[in-house]
Amino acid sequence: MTLGQAFNGGNNALNAWRLVLAAEVMLWHCWPITGRMPPAATLQLLFSIGVDGFFAISGFLITRSWLDDPHVRDYLTARALRILPGYYACLIVTAFAFAPLSVALQGGSVGELVCSGGPLEYVLKNSAVAYVHLDVGGTPSGIPHSGLWNGSLWSLVWEVICYLAVAGVGLAGLAHHRWVSPAILVVATGLATAMPPMTFPGYGPFPRSPCVRRSCSRPEPSSINGER
């Protein structure tokens, strides 16, 4: 019996495990906000297990989705409905609720923030899923990594790329061949080892991401926040 034959789409705990792993990713992104880093072993565990485990389980489920219904339109519609509503809700709530709240708590002008166009700019520039605009009108400020909301969203564009890659493999007629997954794993491992490392002070190298690079540079606080 193969893993695919043993898999029961209606009776498994894979989505529950994905929720646990997503929570672990959130924990990892919350830790640096305090301005401190965990011990090296804990850092490696938090940095690797959540994202890698989530992507591995998602890859299994997404490939199963294609095999069950190998039609591009249905597949892409299902993937879009899976990710976009929550993503857009996150952008809107961050831009028009949490960012103004952070300004108000610091004694700044909420009206000035909203009228600056910062909240709308944040939503529009990030609407294509590529997380390229990290601040909302200069907020948040007064924290160890200023000008950065929702640090974990950088990984979503890679998830979309994986969606498209699965569709590409399916359209090429390779999804049913057993050698494809090991071959992709070998190629991906080779590419990962060739990536330039990112080093946290006092810790080992980790994969580099645009979001982490951006968070390492702390912009000047915006006058909207009552700080000049």
- The pTM score is 0.74
What does the pLDDT read at residue 2?
A: 63
Q: Is the pLDDT of residue 212 over 50?
A: no
Sequence-separated (6 or more) residues with CB below 8 Å from residue 57:
14, 17, 18, 21
CA 197 to chain centre: 19
pLDDT digits (tens, 9 = 90+) for 133-182: 999 999 998 887 788 898 778 888 888 998 999 999 999 999 888 899 89
Grade residue 38 by pLDDT with cuts at 50, 70 and 90: confident
What does the pLDDT read at residue 213?
A: 45
pLDDT digits (tens, 9 = 90+) for 47-93: 678 888 888 888 888 988 898 899 999 999 999 999 999 999 999 99
pLDDT digits (tens, 9 = 90+) for 168-181: 999 999 988 889 98
The amino acid present at 100, given as its one-letter code, is P
What does the pLDDT read at residue 158?
A: 86
What does the pLDDT read at residue 87?
A: 94
